[in-house]
């Protein structure tokens, strides 16, 4: 297999990102046009619901773009944006409340992106598999700096008829964790699923590590606007 240089890999990612954006835009425009042409209120409403869903998907794709690799990224802000977009796209319709907490943390661009991909997959996993029965559905994402180690927890209060299976998604999560020099611990108990990602900071990241701690922020139905990091995300 031909190995790509870092610059080659980055170029392919930019090209893929460009193609996905173009295809999403074309699909949104085509469906919107059909909705406007329809004389049926039912059809028009259904098509516009699809358009809204595609816009939400586009927001997730935009949130998961790889940041600039040559500089440090505010991991808390980046991860918050990922959580907001996924909540709106996948979790709000299931009435799953999301609580997000993060310590001040700067990560290298590509490593921050990989963290976002891991959290995205774990949140999606909850949306697909968790069963909440009579409990109020709740999912928590917590990013903690513990010395030179970064810990990220994704947990919920649901349950599943069987133990966590390591399918393709969790396999990719494990590989991404390894590329960060870390690993993912999983458990499924009566209180719900629990995923713990741990990985060491690089020397560059350690030198910029802050000492401030985050606060819980509730993600309900995110609005299309920028909010301060101390505000309710609902």
Same domain, 85 and 58: no
- Token readout for 56 is 């939400």
pLDDT in the model for residue 137: 87
Say if CB 60 and CB 195 are below 8 A apart. no
Q: Give 50-72 pLDDT, tens digit per residue.
A: 999 899 889 998 999 888 877 89
62-101 pLDDT, tens digit per residue, is: 999 888 877 899 999 999 999 999 999 988 888 888 999 9
112 and 204 in a common domain: yes
pTM for the predicted model, two decimal places? 0.79
- Number of Cβ within a 10 Å radius of residue 219: 24
Residue closest to 118 by CA, chosen among 189, 196, 229, 202: 196
- How confident is the model over 166-189, as a mean pLDDT? 88
Residue 36 and residue 78 in one domain: no
Mean pLDDT score of the chain: 82
Same domain, 18 and 118: no
d(CA 181, CA 27): 39
Q: Which domain holds residue 39?
A: 6-63
């Amino acid at each position: 297999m031909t190995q790509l240089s870092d610059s080659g890999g980055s170029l392919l990612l930019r090209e893929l990102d460009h193609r996905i954006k173009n295809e999403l835009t074309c699909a949104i425009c085509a469906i919107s046009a059909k909705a406007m042409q329809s004389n049926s209120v039912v059809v028009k409403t259904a098509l516009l619901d699809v358009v809204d869903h595609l816009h939400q998907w586009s927001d997730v794709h935009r949130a998961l773009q790889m940041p600039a690799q040559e500089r440090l990224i505010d991991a808390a802000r980046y991860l918050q944006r990922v959580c907001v977009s996924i909540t709106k796209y996948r979790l709000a319709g299931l009435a799953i409340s999301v609580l997000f907490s993060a310590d001040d943390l700067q990560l290298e661009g590509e490593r921050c992106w990989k963290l976002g991909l891991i959290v995205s997959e774990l949140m999606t996993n909850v949306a697909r598999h968790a069963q909440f029965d009579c409990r109020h559905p709740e999912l928590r994402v917590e990013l903690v700096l513990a010395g030179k180690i970064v810990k990220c927890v994704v947990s919920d209060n649901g349950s599943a008829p069987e133990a966590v299976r390591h399918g393709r998604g969790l396999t990719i999560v494990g590989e991404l964790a390894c590329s960060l020099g870390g690993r993912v611990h999983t458990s499924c108990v009566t209180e719900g699923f629990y995923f713990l990602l741990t990985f060491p900071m690089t020397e560059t990241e350690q030198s910029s590590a802050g000492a401030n701690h985050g606060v819980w922020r509730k993600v309900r139905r995110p609005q299309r606007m920028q909010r301060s990091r101390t505000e309710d995300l609902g």
